[in-house]
Chains A and B, each alone.
Chain A
Amino acid sequence: MTDAHVCLGWRELSQMSIYLFFYLAWATWRIETGGHTEALNMMEVVEGGIQTTVQDYPGRVGFLDLGMYPAGPMDHLAFRFANLLVGNPLGAAALEVTLGGFKARFDRHCVIAVTGAPMPVTVNGVEVPMWQSFEVKPGDLLTLGMAKTGGFRAYVAIHGGIDVPEYMGSHATFTVGGFGGFEGRGLKKGDRVQLKLTPFSQKLVGRALRKELVPTYSFEWEIEAMRGPQADPDYMAAEDMEFFFSHSWKVDRNSNRMGIRLEPHKWQWARETGGVAGGHPSNILDNGYAVWTVNMCGDQPIILTADGPSLGGFICNATLIHASSWKAGQLVPGRDHVKFKEVTIDEAIAMARALETSISETNIVRG
């Protein structure tokens, strides 16, 4: 052993300072981005709430002939606005929080936006606005309180998105089949959900949606729909359709991501029976169901939603249009009322075009 090995000269010190510089740069980067390790890039669920699922848009499309409804967000409008606010691709994996009661802690420094049904949103107990992106630091606790003033579902988008495995091309949770999303189920206390590795970006903080574009959530809804596929005069009576489009329907308590049940009604029908398909005049030989259609299950109308059945033997007398189907996702079971407003195909397409155009950077302002 020689002295050279134990003495620290200027040379060694300058070498060490280079190491120190690199170490500090790495540590800073690691803190800023959440680092490259899993442990520092997670969201820990503190309270799961009633039902909080990972969804993406448009969901698992292309498997309808194998019996798979697309899953995805129940409110595709608020969902995409949330992603827009944090600078994600509009369909990126984000959280759907049903009614509220969701709490999570974040390992990394990130930008988050919450949209949809008004819920009190706080970071470490300090209120933050909805429809506007905000910053969350490592260790911060995000809380969504309960929706009380109307609307049923809120969306939490995190810049970079949620990193759950794709199943059949999508991150969406299909609650009925128990697959997709995070382990095919709603989030529970203690779950550690991986986030996509993305550097923190200050310029994404404070982005807000123009006020006039923020939807109103009430207890009384009007949802635009088109007549058909099976309406009057061949399947239902003209009076039935008149009633359907004028009545204020109470949303049944027993509604979920599969379907939204409305109250049963004594219909006139156009046919005596379903013939070969069954005794009840709502019966037909099984056919594919459009997503967001109104299924007449015997005497009870059910709006078939994201996780619904793909095919069956009941008529569908009306179908929600794309520009309005998101409203169905905001109906509060057992409380809200809904009226259906009939529109033509041209009106539906014009509304869809306007809606799609509105989900754009031009509608983002500094909050």
Chain B
Amino acid sequence: MKGREHTNRAVIDRLPKSGERPEVIYRYAGDRFILLEYGDMVLDLRTNFRIFGLNDAIKKARIDGVIETVPALRSMLIHYDSLKLEPAHLVDILKQLESDVPPVESLIIHSRRIELPIAFEDRYTRADIERYVKYTRQDAPNIINGHNIEYIALYNGLSSKQQVIDYICSTQWWNACIGFWPGLPFMFPLDPRYAIVAPKYNPTRPWTPEGAVGIGGPCVAIYPVASPGGYQLFGRTLPIFDLQQRNPAFKDNPILLRATDRVEWQPVSDDKLEVLRAKVFDGSYRYKIVSYEAFHVKSYLKFLDSIKDEVAEFQRKQADAAKSAPVP
């Protein structure tokens, strides 16, 4: 370890790749945090699943001095008290815990299934996109007929707006982590046959309504509050953040979603969404949350294997379309 300090002072230690587990790099993030990075810079949900396996192991180990963890796509940030727990000792414990994490294919992750209504091209996202064209960029190629969905079709080689909507509603969306802003989910499609992608706005959009749903790269997010944003918008859903905690879903804290949740979209009309949103705020709406479900990685991987060819076919068409599509 001494010799390594000179070449990479940010790295505390490494755990070489072993079997299906990628290499783990333990990095200093100051004297109160360490950051674990897994494998190469690739988007692979199996790595994310594994990180939740480790997260469970850390929680079960109840390590004195560990304050909290932030699991993310291919990394885990650990907040600890270095006056109580020496970083080298913490890394030793974490390396040990890696061997306690079951192989990814046998992981069973507690995962809630949440059904959210969505109004595609609703009046609020439409209004903010209109403002963007008026005040920010008139010739934005990502805005066709006043919205982003037709552009998403173009960029992914889909035939129509309706096909984009069908794709979005055909897969569950895995919430890999929460962050940036309180309650903001980073969601990825569990069915890669419907894994649409989209480049971000350029320049960013100064306005996005609360509850807007959009995509940037491969990631789908819901805006917890009205804010600037760069994602191509689908439409709008129910509130996922409510400071005033006006609905039982916000009883414990103002944040609806958790990492490892699976979100399913239920298309509704713009007017219906308005009615549902009002019911959220008067407390009478019950969010459709199935909280006892578990996500079996093994059967998921089997499923992935069964659709390999279709995925390859979609990705080929998608890549062709992206080549000829304008980028904002």
Which of A31-39, A150-158, A280-288 is the contact stretch? Answer: A280-288
Q: CB-CB < 8 A to B82: which residues of A?
A: 322, 345, 348-349, 352
**Cβ contact within 8 Å between A286 and B30:** no
Verify if A129 is at the interface (C-beta below 8 Å from B): no
Verify if A221 is at the interface (C-beta below 8 Å from B): no
Chain B interface category by residue count = 35 or more
Verify if B119 is at the interface (C-beta below 8 Å from A): no
In the assembled complex, the CB of B223 is this many whole angstroms from the nearest CB of chain A, namely 12
**Cβ contact within 8 Å between B29 and A285:** no
**Cβ contact within 8 Å between B182 and A288:** no
Residue of A184, A225, A311 most packed against chain B (CB within 10 A): A311
Residue of B34, B41, B43 most packed against chain A (CB within 10 A): B41
Among A68, A226, A289, A352, contact of B182 (Cβ-Cβ < 8 Å):
A68
In the assembled complex, the CB of A311 is this many whole angstroms from the nearest CB of chain B, namely 3
- When C-beta atoms are compared, the residue in chain B nearest to A325 turns out to be B30
In the complex, chain B residues 242-260 whose Cβ is within 8 Å of any chain A Cβ: 243, 253-255, 258-259
* Residue-wise interface mask of A (88-99) relative to B, using a CB-CB cutoff of 8 A (1 in contact, 0 not): 000000000000
* Residue-wise interface mask of A (170-202) relative to B, using a CB-CB cutoff of 8 A (1 in contact, 0 not): 000000111100001000000000000000000
**Cβ contact within 8 Å between A277 and B30:** no
**Cβ contact within 8 Å between A228 and B41:** no
Q: CB-CB < 8 A to B79: which residues of A?
A: 61, 64, 290
**Cβ contact within 8 Å between A290 and B29:** yes
In the assembled complex, the CB of B90 is this many whole angstroms from the nearest CB of chain A, namely 11
Among A168, A277, A345, contact of B253 (Cβ-Cβ < 8 Å):
A168
Distance A33 CA – B27 CA, assembled complex (angstroms): 52
Distance A113 CA – B186 CA, assembled complex (angstroms): 44
Q: CB-CB < 8 A to B9: which residues of A?
A: 227-228, 231
**Cβ contact within 8 Å between B253 and A66:** yes
**Cβ contact within 8 Å between B10 and A177:** no
In the assembled complex, the CB of B95 is this many whole angstroms from the nearest CB of chain A, namely 17
Verify if A120 is at the interface (C-beta below 8 Å from B): no
Q: CB-CB < 8 A to A288: which residues of B?
A: 35, 70, 72, 75-77, 177, 179
Q: CB-CB < 8 A to A231: which residues of B?
A: 8-10
- When C-beta atoms are compared, the residue in chain A nearest to B79 turns out to be A64
Residue of B33, B42, B73 most packed against chain A (CB within 10 A): B33
Verify if A67 is at the interface (C-beta below 8 Å from B): yes
In the assembled complex, the CB of B249 is this many whole angstroms from the nearest CB of chain A, namely 14
- When C-beta atoms are compared, the residue in chain A nearest to B258 turns out to be A66
In the complex, chain A residues 190-234 whose Cβ is within 8 Å of any chain B Cβ: 225-234
Verify if A316 is at the interface (C-beta below 8 Å from B): yes
In the assembled complex, the CB of B222 is this many whole angstroms from the nearest CB of chain A, namely 12
Among A64, A65, A292, contact of B30 (Cβ-Cβ < 8 Å):
A292
Q: A67-B178, A276-B43, A312-B180 are in contact. Are A349 and B72 (CB under 8 A)?
A: no
Verify if B159 is at the interface (C-beta below 8 Å from A): no
Distance A40 CA – B74 CA, assembled complex (angstroms): 55
- When C-beta atoms are compared, the residue in chain B nearest to A235 turns out to be B10
**Cβ contact within 8 Å between B8 and A290:** no
Residue of B31, B68, B71, B179 most packed against chain A (CB within 10 A): B31
Distance A179 CA – B27 CA, assembled complex (angstroms): 33
Verify if B87 is at the interface (C-beta below 8 Å from A): yes
Verify if B127 is at the interface (C-beta below 8 Å from A): no
Q: A226-B28, A322-B30, A352-B31 are in contact. Are A287 and B73 (CB under 8 A)?
A: yes
- When C-beta atoms are compared, the residue in chain B nearest to A312 turns out to be B180
Verify if A353 is at the interface (C-beta below 8 Å from B): yes
In the assembled complex, the CB of A319 is this many whole angstroms from the nearest CB of chain B, namely 3
Verify if A62 is at the interface (C-beta below 8 Å from B): yes
In the assembled complex, the CB of B50 is this many whole angstroms from the nearest CB of chain A, namely 14
**Cβ contact within 8 Å between A287 and B77:** yes
Verify if A142 is at the interface (C-beta below 8 Å from B): no
- When C-beta atoms are compared, the residue in chain A nearest to B9 turns out to be A227
Verify if B61 is at the interface (C-beta below 8 Å from A): no
- When C-beta atoms are compared, the residue in chain A nearest to B182 turns out to be A67
- When C-beta atoms are compared, the residue in chain B nearest to A66 turns out to be B255
Q: A226-B30, A233-B8, A319-B30 are in contact. Are A289 and B77 (CB under 8 A)?
A: yes
Q: CB-CB < 8 A to B133: which residues of A?
A: none
Q: List 19 A-B contacts (CB under 8 A).
A: A64-B77, A65-B259, A226-B30, A226-B31, A228-B29, A229-B35, A232-B10, A234-B8, A275-B41, A286-B219, A287-B73, A287-B77, A288-B77, A290-B29, A291-B32, A292-B30, A309-B180, A311-B179, A345-B12
**Given A66-B255, A288-B72, A349-B82: 6 more A-B contacts, CB < 8 Å:** A67-B182, A176-B181, A177-B181, A228-B27, A228-B28, A309-B179
Binding site for B on A (CB under 8 A): 61-68, 168, 176-179, 184, 225-234, 274-278, 284-293, 309-312, 316, 319-322, 345, 348-349, 352-353, 356
Closest 5 CB pairs of A and B: A228-B10, A311-B179, A288-B77, A319-B30, A288-B70
